[in-house]
Amino acid sequence: MKIINVNTSKGSYPIYIKKDILKSSASLIKKIYKHEKICILTDGKVMSLYGKYIESYFEEEGFKPLIITVKEGEKSKSISTYENICKTLVKNGFTRSNLIVSFGGGVIGDLGGFVASTLFRGMRFIQIPTTLLSQVDSSVGGKVAINLEEGKNLIGAFYPPEMVIIDTNLLKTLDERFIIDGMAEVIKYGCIIDKKLFEFLEQLDRDFLFDNMDFLVERCVSIKKNVVEEDEFDTGNRMILNFGHTIGHVIESYYNYEKYTHGEAVAIGMSYITALGEDIGLTKTGASHRINKILDKYGLEKVFPPIDKEDMIKTIMIDKKGNESGVSFIFIEDIGKAIIKRMGKEEIIKYISNK
């Protein structure tokens, strides 16, 4: 078992990575949580696959789990879903001393974490991520959020979990689309900080992707741990983790979170921003070609879809990385080296309108 400890301003929390560790999840939690009442937040797909197992694991350890199931997909990260979960917990006698376990992908992690960060001014919180994207990225670092119609993750908090439990065997039941979705975040780490990881992905035979999954998860978690420890509250270098995301979030929201998954949109965003970087002289010539080639290899889209430019600029300007002076865009100088460029509204209009 691999254990990676993440240090935060509120202390540290362990990330456990091991095949079949789901069976031991309740016993791990039992070591730090002594109450019987516990909430397991999940979605319909995960519940259908693992619901009876996770419930029995917790009951065997003496817990009395309340399982709350929400609809799959980004639309569940809404104010109405958040309110319903809060009301359900209150009606069932939960207090701030009780624990929420987010058992699902990035949506469930963000949603459960945001409920935990706000209800009763803070409940206890643990993540058991079930998708590649959530295992390599969103379950680490303490960002939790819900969406508004105006944009993604606009209501949120920094609220680290007490523990993250990663069972890479859970990835075997993922649809192929969501393995591909998660690979966008793996590729992102290679683009912004780890050239050797990018080169490994270039050389890897895709047929052997699952044989290397533990390595990829551990590598990405370690990279993110180092970045978030340096900049916990996303005011400096942690912003590089948003490479491809500013444009990706525009695509997701413009198509109402229905046409593109998060990873698919981020992949398009990485391709778009790297091509723009080459156009304006920030990015080494040839980087865009390499990124497009690796996106093709792992089945990710790179072609920017039809989007109204005025709507695009409007969404960019309310991005959570922005303020009155503009928005921080993440470019790469070359594979493995990211840079942050602050751009004002006029500059954004100039570049976006001509791209």
Question: Residues within the annotated binding site for Zn(2+)?
Answer: 185, 245, 262
How many CB atoms within 10 Å of residue 6? Answer: 22
CB of 281 closer than 8 Å to CB of 317: no
Q: What is the helix (H) or strand (E) element at residue 333, kind and residue range?
A: strand 326-334
Q: Looking at this protein, which amino acid is placed at residue 3? A: I
Q: Looking at this protein, which amino acid is placed at residue 128? A: I
Binding residues for NAD(+): 72-77, 106-110, 130-131, 143, 152
Beta pairing class for 37-43 and 99-104: parallel
Please state at what angle helix 309-317 crosses helix 245-254, rounded to 10 degrees: 120
Q: Looking at this protein, which amino acid is placed at residue 240? A: I
Instruction: Tell me the C-alpha distance between 341 and 334, whole Å.
Output: 15
Order of strands across the sheet that contains 37-43: 2-8, 11-17, 164-166, 124-129, 99-104, 37-43, 64-70
∠ CA 85-90-91, nearest 5°, is: 95
Binding residues: 72-77, 106-110, 130-131, 143, 152, 185, 245, 262
Half-sphere exposure of 3 (CA within 13 A, CB side): 7
Those residues with Cβ within 8 angstroms of residue 229's Cβ, 6 or more apart along the chain or in another chain? 6, 7, 8
